[in-house]
Chains A and B, each alone.
Chain A
Amino acid sequence: MKPRRLRRIVVNAIGLATIIAFVFPVYWMASTAFKQPGDIQTYVPKFVPFPPTLDNFTTAVTRPYFPDYLRNSLVISISTVVLALVVGLLAAMAVARARFRGRRSFLLLVVVAQMAPFEALLIPMYLVLRQANLLNQIPALILTYFIFTLPFTIWALRGFIAGIPVDLEEAAMVDGANRFQAFWHVVLPLLAPGLVATSIFAFITAWNEFLYAYVLMRDTANFTLPVWLATFRTAFGTDWGGTMAASTLFTLPVLVFFLLIQNRMVGGVTAGAVKG
């Protein structure tokens, strides 16, 4: 009995230390954001933000151009999602439901595109968009993020569609529905959770992207939230309260969205990869 109890205690202690290691940075961001200005830069850290204040958030939100950054980020992220979803759904439907010559090659192309090192393609992308007179234009980022997210969108939707029994569509078509009606009334409702998960993923990708937004946009009014956040330190100096409040605001929607889809993200790579 005794060594087992000792083992329990050791395992739980390691567990607790691991939990703290993963939670603490996020906690420290939020807690700094709510602290009184005098409580942030102290030699002995104050661990609980009491009494809490919203001053830092006010500082962050009232920075010049903040509404522009927020609007740019929302417009770009939502446009990316819509574009990727429409184009991706068409391809995913074909790949999941039909067998045709070149299907395997197309899927391989999707896998390769998914792995494309966009950080390395920055220069040619920059030159292409410059050629098309799209530099410093919001559509440049929408197109860029669309191609970033398209491979994953096709891949994920293909999986979700394949999970819906084809018999259901066939039954609807036997009952006189055409192919489009069968899709609209049978497949689409069942696909809803998959569509939500995939669009959240595309949204997060576009919302978080920094490098291209930083390079392609020149005018301050065209920046997105990540560019704003990255230049915060230079703009705010050592105002960690304002920086952490801005980070919290930027991270919050991602956290909420992520919690909604995380169990779908995990199943991913594993499904095919365990020898049964």
Chain B
Amino acid sequence: MVEGQAETGIGPAIVTPRRGGAPAHGRSAVARARRLFHYLPLLPSLFAFLVLLGYPVLLAVVISFQRMGLRELVQRTTVWIGFQNYASILADPTFWAVAIRTLAFTAFNVALTMILGTLVALLLGALGRWMRLALSISLILAWATPALTASVIFQWLFDSKFGVVNWALTSVGIFGDYTNHSWFATGLSTFAVISLLIAWQAIPFVAFSLRAGILSVPSEQYEAARVDGATDRAIFRRITVPSLLPLFMILTFLSAIWDFKVFTQIWTVRQGGPAGETVTLAIYAYLKGIAGAQYGLASAVAVVMVVLLALVLIPYIRTMLRTQEDL
């Protein structure tokens, strides 16, 4: 979905549109009809948003208050149980372990992506022309690789017997002997591989966006600072960093949203294993809902997920509104 490759780059192309367009100021019936005419092209989209998106969201909330399993689904019966689904997930120690694990996993991945992404953006600026071109191409390769392919490749790289990573670590020598080392034996080590995989794919977008941001800081500001005798370090701290702050915030929010709900990579690598140690909320909802056919319970998990995401989404949208005068 947009995640997989949406993850690859949902930089919404933003070009500030001209103010103006076609104002309809008249108060006559014709003008009113013309104004209504503006809404006509919006109808298909509105219909799609309401039916294909709004209805499922509403349904998730409604079902989260029902007991809904295969039996209820086949017999088409409705059993209202109030907050019982919420009570039972909140009383489930597994749910809490999963929720905390998901937050920790998200925080770690966002930090890793943002720190390395910033360093790569600075590296792009420091390199010469040809090296910069080569680095850009290699970043695009990683960015374009579908999440699914990347998950398959990383399993091969980290294969215990013939994986090239184990061979390389063993050859270097200082890390000890990694022959036949299994990366997927513990939850933490499996997460390490998954985080590396997510960062590998997410860094290019962050790096390119920050690089573009750095380049679009007006050069007069730098020139003025230089005339006033500012050092490179002062220029970076006083001009580059503050100018990039809103962009940095947006990228952090986007990464948090994407990493929080990631499914494909975790599922493809070990289906939440070993022994459920890499189950995150997205996997948990899938296991409860689709695999376990407990639709009511899974909907409650989905609602909890959306509420947690909203905590990140609301500041994101506020930042968007501040930086987009057109919205």
Question: Knowing A23-B141, A148-B2, A273-B213 touch, does A159 contact B14 (C-beta < 8 A)?
Answer: yes
- Residue from the list B52, B161, B245, B325 in contact with A143, Cβ < 8 A: B52
A267 CA to B295 CA, complexed, in Å: 41
CB-CB < 8 A to B246: which residues of A?
273-275
Q: Are B15 and A160 in contact (CB under 8 A)?
A: yes
Q: Are B2 and A152 in contact (CB under 8 A)?
A: yes
Partner of B14 from A11, A154, A272 at Cβ < 8 Å:
A272
On whether the beta carbons of B298 and A123 are closer than 8 Å, the reply is yes
In the complex, the answer to whether A117 meets B59 with C-beta atoms within 8 Å is no
User: Once the chains bind, are B42 and A106 in contact (CB under 8 Å)?
Assistant: yes
B35 an interface residue at 8 Å Cβ cutoff? Answer: yes
User: B286 and A122: CB pair below 8 A?
Assistant: yes
30 A-B pairs (CB sep. < 8 Å): A25-B200, A29-B156, A42-B162, A91-B45, A108-B327, A114-B2, A114-B12, A116-B53, A118-B1, A119-B3, A119-B285, A120-B285, A120-B309, A125-B56, A127-B295, A145-B1, A147-B52, A162-B15, A208-B5, A211-B286, A251-B146, A265-B8, A265-B13, A266-B208, A267-B13, A267-B212, A270-B247, A273-B246, A273-B247, A274-B247
**Which of B17, B146, B317, B326 gathers most chain A CB within 10 Å?**
B146
**Alpha-carbon gap, A127 to B192, bound state (A):** 35
Per-residue CB contact flags for chain B residues 65-86 toward chain A (1 = under 8 Å, else 0) read 0000000010000000000000
Partner of A118, one of B3, B23, B244: B3
From B106-114, B182-190, B223-231, B260-268, the one touching the partner chain is B260-268
Asked whether B173 is an interface residue with its Cβ less than 8 Å from the other chain, the reply is no
User: Given that A88-B45, A97-B21, A273-B247 are known contacts, is A124 also in contact with B15, CB under 8 Å in the complex?
Assistant: no
| Contact across chains for B2 and A98 when beta carbons are under 8 A apart | no
Contact string against A for B residues 101-123, beta-carbon threshold 8 Å, 1 for contact and 0 otherwise: 00000000000000000001001
B97 at the interface (CB under 8 A from A): no
Chain B residues within an 8 Å CB radius of A12: 127-128, 131
Bound complex: CA of A97 vs CA of B244, how far in Å? 30
Interface residues of B, dominant DSSP: helix
- Using Cβ atoms and an 8 Å threshold, which residues of chain B touch A147? 48-49, 52-53
Task: Give Cα distance in the complex from A255 to B246, angstroms.
Answer: 31
Q: Tell me the bound Cα distance from A263 to B138 in angstroms.
A: 14
Q: Are B45 and A44 in contact (CB under 8 A)?
A: no
Q: List the B residue with the shortest CB-CB distance to A209.
A: B1
**Max chain A Cβ within 10 angstroms of own Cβ: one of B39, B41, B56, B154:** B56
Flag whether B254 is at the interface (Cβ < 8 A). yes
Smallest CB separation, B74 vs chain A (Å): 11
Contacts of B73 in A (CB 8 A): 127, 130
The distance in angstroms between the C-alpha atoms of A97 and B37, with both chains bound, is 13
Interface size on B, residues (CB 8 A): 123
Q: Does A276 contact B (CB under 8 A)?
A: yes
Binary CB contact string for chain B from 261 to 302 against chain A (1 if under 8 A, 0 otherwise): 111100110000000000001100110011000010011001
Query: Residues 123-154 of chain A: 1 if any B CB is under 8 Å from the residue's CB, otherwise 0?
Result: 11111101000000000000111111110101
**What A residues does B324 contact at CB under 8 A?**
272
- Residues 133-148 of B at the A interface (beta carbon under 8 Å): 134-135, 138-148
Which residues in window 254-276 of A have CB below 8 A to B? 254-255, 258-259, 262, 264-276
5 A-B pairs closest in CB distance: A268-B11, A162-B17, A258-B144, A90-B41, A124-B56
Decide: A122 and B285 in contact? CB cutoff 8 A.
yes
Number of interface residues of A (CB under 8 A): 119
Distance in Å: Cβ of B237 to nearest Cβ of chain A = 15
Residues in B neighbouring A148, C-beta threshold 8 A: 1-2, 6
Given known A-B contacts A226-B148, A247-B149, A123 and B289 have beta carbons under 8 A apart: yes
Contacts A87-B48, A99-B21, A123-B295; is A208 near B285 (CB within 8 Å)?
no
Interchain CB contact under 8 A, B261 and A120? yes
Q: State the CA gap A40–B150 with chains docked (Å).
A: 18
Whether B10 sits at the interface, judged by CB under 8 Å, is yes
B145-185 interface mask toward A, CB cutoff 8 Å, 1 = contact, 0 = none? 11111101111110101101001000000000000000000
Q: Is the CB–CB distance between A269 and B254 below 8 Å?
A: yes
- Beyond A45-B167, A156-B12, whether A128 also contacts B213 by CB under 8 A is no
Residue of A28, A270, A276 most packed against chain B (CB within 10 A)? A270
- The chain B residue sitting closest to A100, CB to CB, is B38
Report the minimum CB–CB distance from A154 to chain B (whole Å): 6
> How far is the CB of A180 from the nearest CB of chain B, in Å?
12
CA distance A118 to B269 in the complex (A): 20
Q: Which chain B residues lie closer than 8 Å to A22 at the CB level?
A: 135, 138-139, 141-142, 200, 203-204
Please state if B143 and A262 are interface contacts (CB–CB under 8 Å).
yes
Whether B306 contacts A117 by the Cβ 8 Å rule is yes
| Closest CB in chain B relative to A86 CB, distance in Å | 8
Contacts of B139 in A (CB 8 A): 22
Check if A79 is an interface residue, CB within 8 A of chain B.
no
A147 to B: closest C-beta gap in Å: 4
Contacts of A146 in B (CB 8 A): 48, 52
Q: Is B235 at the interface (CB under 8 A from chain A)?
A: no
B16 neighbours in A (Cβ, 8 Å): 162, 271-272
Question: In the complex the two chains form, is B149's CB within 8 Å of A251's CB?
Answer: yes
B251:A121 contact, CB within 8 angstroms: no
